[in-house]
């Protein structure tokens, strides 16, 4: 495969995400020869770093992946730094000078990826400056990668879209949802559409319910200030959980193009049934906030740094979601996510209906993290004299060696962006419809009291009501 030619301009190059995720991801692409001599990266941020200091930061961030120090040095030599005040036009003029020089030096063919890893508040000023100061090239491609959140509700997302599209067209905007870079999530379409065992059965006639569980054992760590303005619904549900839901329930795309792939997801997100009243939210959505652990070892959310001592921010949510489409009528999709639950476990369970009212059902379980694996539960006869039924799993799990070769979330997504493949990036219509649904939860929560917070101790599976939500449907969280 021929390596790609490109110049990447990264805003937020001194940040935590860049060092933890982006440089290691780009290094793996370099090691695998997807990018090589025709690649350069300009890192920008406020801090006055030199190229050499920047390269050392990059080298430090990839240290645990280096087999050949000379090759790592060679990689780091493609990194350049320019200090930048994002509101100052002059800085973009200098940035353009450096970009043009590197275009020549590395023969990047005018291909540019602008990656903004900064507060979303800065997206509009940066993109409008990029346009005003002529940083978009005429030959080659121009692509924008941005991190979540895309807006804070439907209204602000629509405003942001209007601002960004003054510079970039929708199909030049790559909105990162890092869950779409996960191996097991990318596999959902293959499982659903390439198996005779599943494709014809994937509907309300044969599926009883679907469960998506994004449980975390960590708390809010040092992100209290951000989390106070977010909560788990905006942090995990609006994006990650609803994306998984869409992948699990969308119709088979009419073609292999990313346009048709995203259209299929949009159709689902447009048909999520919004909650119309506090009563509806009350019976379908359970929210929680963690208190100190029972042994006092872990802090409660309200004791975390930069969190109000009477905060009403939710750190846990479980919900029963319905889709207003005939093929999904009556099939509940249960989702839950929370901080400081008893374990990290990102899983999907599809529970099929039993035959003839029997309780012997089939279940497909997809484990996304911490392990990566698939299990299909089938019924056989209990081996031996007995004729009783026995449930057995057919399992496939990647071992740690195999898992270490899998592209990491950001690696896969940056690779897709370089390839111009938008399938694993969210279209504005996906984001907008996800917000409309999520807004319907918040609008009703605003009318309700949260007097029972905190309502689950850190280190447990969440509030009891989350179990009751499924019990009403004669099921439980797998």
Instruction: Please say which residue, 112 or 234, places its beta carbon nearer to ligand BG6.
Output: 234
3-state secondary structure (DSSP) of residue 25: helix
Look at phi and psi of residue 320 and say left if phi exceeds 0, alpha if psi is from -120 to 50, else beta.
beta
Q: Considering beta carbons, is residue 175 or 178 the nearer one to ligand BG6?
A: 178
Residue 216 annotated as binding site: yes
Smallest distance, ligand BG6 to C-beta of residue 22, A:
15
CA–CA distances in Å: residue 150 to residues 129, 131, 218: 19, 20, 24
By beta-carbon proximity to ligand BG6, the closer residue of 233 and 269 is: 233
Q: Is 235 annotated as a binding residue?
A: yes
Q: Rounded to the nearest whole angstrom, what is the least distance from the CB of residue 60 to ligand BG6 in the complex?
A: 22
Q: If binding is defined by CB under 6 A, does position 235 make contact with ligand BG6?
A: yes
CB-closest chain residue to ligand BG6 = 235
Tell whether 85 is in a known binding site.
yes
For ligand BG6, the closer CB: 332 or 338: 338
Question: How buried is residue 405: exposed, middle or buried, by Cβ count under 10 Å (0-12/13-18/19+)?
Answer: exposed
> Does residue 38 carry a catalytic annotation?
no
Smallest separation (angstroms) from ligand BG6 to the CB of 81: 27
Residue carrying the six token digits 């788990």: 232
Q: How far is the CB of 300 from ligand BG6 (least distance, A)?
A: 17
State in Å, rounded, how far the first CA of the chain is from the last one: 42
Residues in 60-89 that interact with ligand BG6 by CB under 6 A: none
Q: How far is CA 190 from CA 24, 197, 261, 320, 367, in A?
A: 28, 12, 13, 26, 15
* Letter string b/e over residues 115-137, b meaning 16 or more CB atoms within 10 A of that residue's CB: bbbbebeebbebbebbeebebbb
Alpha helices in 49-177 (DSSP H): 51-62, 69-76, 89-106, 123-132, 154-164
CA neighbor of 34 nearest in space, from 417, 428, 448: 417
Answer yes or no: is 273 a known binding residue: no
Shortest distance, position 470 Cβ to ligand BG6, whole Å = 22
Site string for ligand BG6, 83-122 (x = CB under 6 A): ----------------------------------------
Q: Please say whether the beta carbons of 389 and 360 come within 8 A.
A: yes
Kindly write out the interface string for residues 253-282 of this chain, putting x where it contacts ligand BG6 by CB under 6 A and - elsewhere.
Answer: ------------------------------
Based on CB atoms, which residue is closest to ligand BG6, 129 or 238?
238
Euclidean distance between CA atoms 316 and 294, whole angstroms: 17
Least distance to ligand BG6, CB of residue 235, Å: 5
Complex with ligand BG6: residue 264 or 369, whichever CB lies closer:
369
Binding residues among 131-190 for ligand BG6 as defined by CB under 6 A: 178
Please check whether residue 364 is in contact with residue 396, taking contact to mean a CB–CB distance below 8 angstroms.
Answer: no
Within 8 A by CB and 6+ apart from 79, the residues are 40, 41, 43, 51, 54, 55, 58
Give the whole-angstrom CA distance, residue 439 versus residue 153: 6
Q: Give the binding-site size for ligand BG6 (rule: CB under 6 A).
A: 5
**Rounded-to-integer distance, Cα 292 and Cα 290, Å:** 7
Count of CB atoms situated within 10 Å of the CB of 7: 27
Which CB atom, from 43 or from 231, has the smaller least distance to ligand BG6?
231
Q: Lay out the site mask for ligand BG6 across 360-379 (x = CB under 6 A, - = otherwise).
A: ---------x----------
Q: Which of 54, 174, 212, 216 binds ligand BG6 (CB under 6 A)?
A: 216
Q: Where are the alpha helices (DSSP H) in 205-306?
A: 224-228, 232, 242-249, 258-270, 278-284
Is residue 70 annotated as involved in ligand binding? no
**Which entry of 4, 38, 78, 240 is annotated as an active-site residue?**
240
Cα(334)–Cα(466) distance, integer angstroms: 10
> Any binding-site annotation on 90?
no
- Considering the complex, what minimum distance in angstroms separates the CB of residue 176 from ligand BG6? 10
In whole angstroms, how close is the CB of 399 to ligand BG6 at the nearest point? 20
CA distance linking residue 89 with residue 337, whole number of Å: 42
In terms of CB distance, is 172 or 230 closer to ligand BG6?
Answer: 230
- DSSP sequence for 123-144: HHHHHHHHHHTT-S-SSS-EEE
Contact positions vs ligand BG6 (CB under 6 A): 178, 216, 235, 346, 369
The annotation places the binding site for NADP(+) at 46, 85-86, 148
The annotation places the binding site for substrate at 178, 182, 216, 235, 339, 344
Show which residues are catalytic. Answer: 240
The annotation places the binding site at 46, 85-86, 148, 178, 182, 216, 235, 339, 344
């Amino acid at each position: 495969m021929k390596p790609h030619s490109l110049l990447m301009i990264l805003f937020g190059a001194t940040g935590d995400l860049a060092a933890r995720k982006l440089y290691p991801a780009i290094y793996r692409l370099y090691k695998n020869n997807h990018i090589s001599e025709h690649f350069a990266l300009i890192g920008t941020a406020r801090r006055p770093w030199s190229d050499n200091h920047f390269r050392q930061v990059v080298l430090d961030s990839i240290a645990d992946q280096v087999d050949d120090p000379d090759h790592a040095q060679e990689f780091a030599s493609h990194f350049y730094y320019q200090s930048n005040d994002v509101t100052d036009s002059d800085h973009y003029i200098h940035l353009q000078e450096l970009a043009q020089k590197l275009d020549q030096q590395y023969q990047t063919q005018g291909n540019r990826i602008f990656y903004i890893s900064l507060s979303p508040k800065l997206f509009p000023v940066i993109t409008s400056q990029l346009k005003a100061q002529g940083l978009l090239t005429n030959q080659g491609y121009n692509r924008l990668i941005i991190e979540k959140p895309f807006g804070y509700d439907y209204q602000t997302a629509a405003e942001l879209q209007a601002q960004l599209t003054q510079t970039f067209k929708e199909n030049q905007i790559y909105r990162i949802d890092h869950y779409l870079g996960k191996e097991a999530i990318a596999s959902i379409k293959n499982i659903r559409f390439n198996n005779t065992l599943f494709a014809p059965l994937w509907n309300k006639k044969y599926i009883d319910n679907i469960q998506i569980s994004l449980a975390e054992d960590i708390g809010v760590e040092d992100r209290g200030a951000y989390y106070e303005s977010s909560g788990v619904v905006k942090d995990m549900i609006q994006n990650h959980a609803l994306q998984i839901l869409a992948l699990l329930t969308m119709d088979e795309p009419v073609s292999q193009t990313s346009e048709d792939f995203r259209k299929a997801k949009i159709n689902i997100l447009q048909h999520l049934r919004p909650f119309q009243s506090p009563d509806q939210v009350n019976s379908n959505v359970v929210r929680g906030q963690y208190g100190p652990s029972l042994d006092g070892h872990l802090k409660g959310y309200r004791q975390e740094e930069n969190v109000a001592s009477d905060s009403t921010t939710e750190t846990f949510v479980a919900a029963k979601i319905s889709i207003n489409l005939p093929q999904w009528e009556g099939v509940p999709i249960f989702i839950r996510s929370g901080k400081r639950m008893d374990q990290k476990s990102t899983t999907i369970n599809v529970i099929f209906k039993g035959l003839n009212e029997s309780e012997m059902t089939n279940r497909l379980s997809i484990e996304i993290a911490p392990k990566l694996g698939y299990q299909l539960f089938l019924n056989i006869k209990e081996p031996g004299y007995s004729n009783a039924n026995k449930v057995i799993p057919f399992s496939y799990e990647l071992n740690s060696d195999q898992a270490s070769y899998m592209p990491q979330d950001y690696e896969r997504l940056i690779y897709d962006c370089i390839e111009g493949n938008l399938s694993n990036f969210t279209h504005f219509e996906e984001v907008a419809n996800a917000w409309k649904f999520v807004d319907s939860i918040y609008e009703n929560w605003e009318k309700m009291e949260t007097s029972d917070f905190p309502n689950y101790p850190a280190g447990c599976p969440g509030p009891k009501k989350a179990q009751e939500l499924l019990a009403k449907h004669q099921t439980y969280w797998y």
